[in-house]
């Protein structure tokens, strides 16, 4: 039997929600999976084609193995995976979380493991190391989540309809590099700053309060250390705000920018200004305009 697994892109942190807040976007990767043949066959089209491994080092397959081991099961020798990717790889849009969730769901259907969202959340967060992307990937919408003693507590929060823009500069900024840019210690006042802003951010997102988001989507834990490393990012953020963006933050660890617009009428002006800022810095960039999706990952039968 062949199954289709769909997983959404996610944007995490949203400014002050470092490693604990994420939002699912209407931009999807599809994975067709079936037990067939006598070997592993992986094909990829779209984003990452020609770069993503097609052997047992593939993240989806490695996660399938981990989830099988977790449930004391063995994957069949013959597995076919066909991936249609729309989420840019290494962009701050949750491509690794999408692959991890895809692997967990693929293993669950191949091995007939009952669908247990709590188990899937805990496994995916332990693999990823934090739950801010895998939470909304599985649940959809705006999700606050914490990982404590290998247990995940995740809750969907109210989120209003927002006009969003994601700008992805052509700059390789691996998560390891983004993590290495962070200091080992932070001033107490910066932690207090983020706590207050995170509380107001969740309120503003739930009510679509753009004036509040302009202030609340600020951060002192990770963005001041990551933004200067990305060429053109400082200028791109300034350009977005100067041309009418309501709020701007790194999408995840970056290099992409999450831009909240006052309305779709500002989209072209803001997009052109940000693209030009990156061009001056020597980078091309791509613009996505996804809506928020309240639906998370899904499984359906193809044949």
pLDDT along the chain (303 residues), means of 10: 96 96 98 95 96 96 98 97 96 96 98 96 94 97 90 96 97 86 94 97 98 97 96 97 97 96 95 97 96 98 87
- For the chain, the straight-line distance linking the first and the last C-alpha, in angstroms and rounded, comes to 6
Tokens 């709590």, located at residue: 118
163-169/257-261 β-pairing: antiparallel
Q: Can you say how many angstroms the Cα of residue 119 is from the centroid of all Cα atoms in its chain?
A: 20
> What are the structure tokens assigned to 288, written together?
């996505």
Give the burial class of 150: count Cβ atoms within 10 A of its Cβ; 0-12 exposed, 13-18 middle, 19 or more buried. Answer: exposed
Question: What's the pTM value of the predicted model, to 2 decimals?
Answer: 0.95
Question: Cα angle vertex 242, ends 239, 243, to 5°?
Answer: 85
Residue 232 near residue 278 (C-beta atoms within 8 A): yes
**Dihedral sign, Cα of residue 102, residue 104, residue 107, residue 112:** negative
Q: Which residues pair with 151 in a beta bridge?
A: 148
> What are the structure tokens assigned to 4, written together?
């289709």
pLDDT at position 172, please?
87
Q: Which of 115, 47, 32 is nearest to 81 (CA)?
A: 32
Q: Give all strands of the β-sheet with 245-250 in edge-to-edge order.
A: 245-250, 257-261, 163-169, 285-288
How far apart (Å, rounded) are the C-alpha atoms in residues 287 and 258?
Answer: 10
Residue 161 near residue 275 (C-beta atoms within 8 A): no
Same fold: 3-157+292-301 with 163-288: no
Q: Which of 141, 102, 133 is nearest to 299 (CA)?
A: 102
pLDDT at position 150, please?
75
CATH number of 3-157+292-301: 3.30.230.10
CA atoms within 13 A on the CB side of 92: 31
Residue 259 near residue 248 (C-beta atoms within 8 A): yes
Report whether the peptide linkage leading into residue 255 is cis, meaning its omega lies within 30 degrees of zero: yes
Domain segments of the chain as ranges: 3-157+292-301, 163-288
For domain 163-288, the CATH class is: alpha beta
Residue 96 near residue 124 (C-beta atoms within 8 A): no
pLDDT at position 207, please?
97
pLDDT at position 177, please?
87
């Amino acid at each position: 039997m062949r199954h289709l697994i769909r997983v959404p892109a996610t944007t995490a942190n949203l400014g002050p929600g470092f490693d604990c807040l994420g939002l699912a976007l209407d931009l999807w990767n599809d994975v067709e999976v079936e037990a067939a043949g006598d070997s592993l066959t992986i094909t990829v089209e779209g984003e990452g084609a020609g770069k993503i491994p097609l052997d047992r080092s593939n993240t989806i397959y490695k996660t399938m193995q981990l989830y099988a081991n977790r449930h004391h099961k063995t994957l069949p020798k013959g597995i076919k995976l066909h991936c249609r990717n729309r989420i840019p790889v290494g962009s701050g849009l949750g491509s690794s979380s999408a692959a991890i969730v895809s692997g967990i769901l693929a293993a669950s259907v191949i091995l007939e493991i009952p669908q247990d969202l709590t188990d899937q959340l805990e496994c995916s967060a332990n693999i990823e190391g934090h739950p801010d992307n895998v939470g909304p990937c599985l649940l959809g919408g705006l999700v606050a989540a914490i990982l404590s003693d290998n247990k995940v507590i995740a809750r969907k929060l109210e989120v209003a309809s927002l006009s969003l823009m994601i700008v992805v500069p052509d700059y390789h900024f691996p998560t390891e590099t983004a993590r290495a840019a962070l200091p080992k210690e932070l001033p107490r006042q910066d932690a207090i700053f983020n706590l207050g802003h995170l509380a107001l951010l969740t309120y503003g997102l739930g009510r679509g309060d753009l004036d509040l988001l302009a202030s609340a989507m600020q951060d002192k834990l990770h963005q001041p250390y990551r933004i200067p490393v990305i060429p053109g990012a400082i200028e791109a953020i300034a350009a977005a705000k100067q041309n009418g963006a309501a709020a701007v933050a790194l999408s995840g660890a970056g290099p992409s920018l999450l831009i909240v617009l006052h309305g779709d009428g500002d989209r072209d002006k803001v997009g052109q200004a940000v693209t030009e800022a990156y061009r001056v810095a020597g980078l091309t960039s791509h613009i996505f305009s996804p809506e928020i999706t309240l639906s998370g990952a899904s499984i359906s039968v193809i044949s």
